[in-house]
Structure 1
Amino acid sequence: MSITLYSLCGADRGRPFSPHCWKVVMALRHKGLDYVEEPLAFTAIPTIEGGATKIVPLLRDGDRLVADSFAIADYLDQTYADRPTLFGGEAGRAAARFVESFSQSVVHPAITKIAVMDIHDMLDDVDQSYFRESRRQRLGRDISEFVPGRQAEIEAFPAKLQPLRVMLGHQPFIGGALPLFADYIVFGALQWLRITTGSVHLPGDDPVQSWFERLLDLYEGAARKVA
């Protein structure tokens, strides 16, 4: 069966940037599965698969459609159980839920404040209008209002990753000796920051930076190849 991953891009289809889609990209490569990625602009997403979704990632595997990055990881682990595990068992799956909660409640809001205008500038005109209005509704103010505080958010960002930094003093990956889906959750967030702003805004000697570089090198450096 052929696998298609619908992901998110701006005007340049060669720079898909969604953190949730990057989780799935890494999960598919972890499983060693062949797939085709179809990056879409924000306003194109509702037109795919008969209007099956308003958000991505969306995975088509043969006649199956699966939405939501965590649900996709679950699906891949169950369907392709003969390939490397993404969770390492039920306890690992539960731990990944905690990592996802940490990422989305602490890391994602910080990245949004840093990158929101960069994301806007990556989009075509019609998507810029959509993005500005949808973020006004979601964030409660116009995205331009985040610009004055951007540098302060960048300076505060490394401290948000302190729990990960401490953990990396004991093991090379969140998953232990090897990466698991929990690693890809936080990696997706930092890859989102890297692609949209050009940097993850961490010191070169930061253990989190080193961990991120190790993940960029995985799977023949596929994630690193996206500028």
Structure 2
Amino acid sequence: MTRVLYDLCGIDEGLRFSPYCWRVRLALAHKGLEVQTRPWRFNDTEALAFADHYQVPVLVDGEEVVTDSYEILRYLDRTYPEAPLLGEGLAEARGRFFKHYAERVMAPAMLRTIVMDLLNAIHPDDRAYFRETREKRLGRTLEEFHSPAKGLAQLDHALAPLRAQLADGDFLDGDAPAGADYLVFGNFMWARCVSSADLVSNADPVYGWLERMLDLHDGLGRNALRVTDIEGAYR
């Protein structure tokens, strides 16, 4: 059985930057499950018609088709219960909090910092779509929204809960990584893959956690292709 993950790519098929797809890639590695990733771009809507969905990640696991990163993590826990990601009951509710925290608090600050780098990393055929949809959502042009100084200040404030959590263990889930770590770290992989911006000072406790996360699963995050690795792509 070949397990397949449809994974967002950019100007190079090897440039995989979706924070949601990174959640799933790390979760699969956590479970020790092999997967074949299939590059997908914003305008490849027909490629996902079989899933009745228009966004990635989409996981095909045998006869099962699962969409939405958080639902994929829940599916993996149900289907492959060893090495839990989220757990059940109160533990799963805790994971859901980190999902919302990453998406609603961290992501806007990061986007304000890296949005123009992100636009540059997207495949040229997808840039018009990205600009139109994001500017509609933001209510302003990307150039007007882009403000690294404001974004970094906003992110520094947003990271306070992570610093507090990391005071009690090496990972957000305690002494070992699990779902909460992957839900949050996916955002940092998004920024790392498309930008050279330094989001966190090396004196910050979050920096140490990021270094530990990058080394997990044989350096899955650390070895990922970055836009800075692509000749002529970064400006």
Tell me, in whole angstroms, the C-alpha distance in 1 between the residues paired with 2:11 and 2:175: 38
Q: 1:175 aligns to what SS in structure 2?
A: coil
Q: 1:48 aligns to what SS in structure 2?
A: helix
Aligned to 2:230: none
Alpha-carbon displacement from aligned partner over 1:58-98 (angstroms, at most 9, x marks no partner): 000011110001100011111111x2111244322110011
| Residue type of the alignment partner of 2:218 | E
Q: Post-superposition shift, 1:17? A: 0.5
TM-score by length of 2: 0.91
- C-alpha contact 2:59 2:65 (8 A) present in aligned 1: yes
Q: 1:211 aligns to what SS in structure 2?
A: helix
Q: Post-superposition shift, 1:201? A: 1.3
- C-alpha contact 2:57 2:68 (8 A) present in aligned 1: yes
**CA-based RMSD:** 1.5
Tell me, in whole angstroms, the C-alpha distance in 2 between the residues paired with 1:34 and 1:160: 34
Q: 1:198 aligns to what SS in structure 2?
A: coil
1:162 to 2:160 alignment: yes
- C-alpha contact 1:11 1:41 (8 A) present in aligned 2: no
> How high is the sequence identity, in percent, across the aligned residues?
38
Which of 213, 216, 229 lines up with 1:215 in the alignment?
Answer: 213
Q: 2:44 aligns to what SS in structure 1?
A: helix
Q: Post-superposition shift, 1:210? A: 0.6
Aligned to 1:4: 4
- C-alpha contact 2:114 2:197 (8 A) present in aligned 1: no
Alpha-carbon displacement from aligned partner over 1:186-221 (angstroms, at most 9, x marks no partner): 100111111111245111121111101101100000
Tell me, in whole angstroms, the C-alpha distance in 1 between the residues paired with 2:212 and 2:219: 9
Tell me, in whole angstroms, the C-alpha distance in 1 between the residues paired with 2:106 and 2:181: 14
Aligned to 1:134: 133
Uncovered stretches (5+) of structure 2, i.e. residues with no partner: 227-235
Aligned to 2:29: 29
Uncovered stretches (5+) of structure 1, i.e. residues with no partner: none
Q: Post-superposition shift, 1:7? A: 1.1
- C-alpha contact 1:171 1:177 (8 A) present in aligned 2: yes
Q: Post-superposition shift, 1:49? A: 4.5
- C-alpha contact 1:45 1:56 (8 A) present in aligned 2: no
Q: Post-superposition shift, 1:51? A: 6.1
Aligned to 1:180: 178
Q: CA 1:199 to 1:217, structure 2 compared with 1: closer, same or farther past 3 Å?
A: farther
Note the 1:17-166 alignment, pairs <5 A.
17-50=17-50, 52-81=52-81, 83-147=82-146, 149-166=147-164
Alpha-carbon displacement from aligned partner over 1:136-158 (angstroms, at most 9, x marks no partner): 111111112123x2223224422
TM-score by length of 1: 0.94
Aligned to 2:233: none
Tell me, in whole angstroms, the C-alpha distance in 2 between the residues paired with 1:200 and 1:78: 37
Q: Which moved more, 1:164-173 or 1:37-46?
A: 37-46
Tell me, in whole angstroms, the C-alpha distance in 2 between the residues paired with 1:154 and 1:19: 18
Moved runs in structure 1, 4+ residues, more than 4 A? Answer: none
- C-alpha contact 2:166 2:205 (8 A) present in aligned 1: yes
Aligned residues: 225
Tell me, in whole angstroms, the C-alpha distance in 1 between the residues paired with 2:198 and 2:31: 26
Q: Which moved more, 1:63-72 or 1:88-97?
A: 88-97
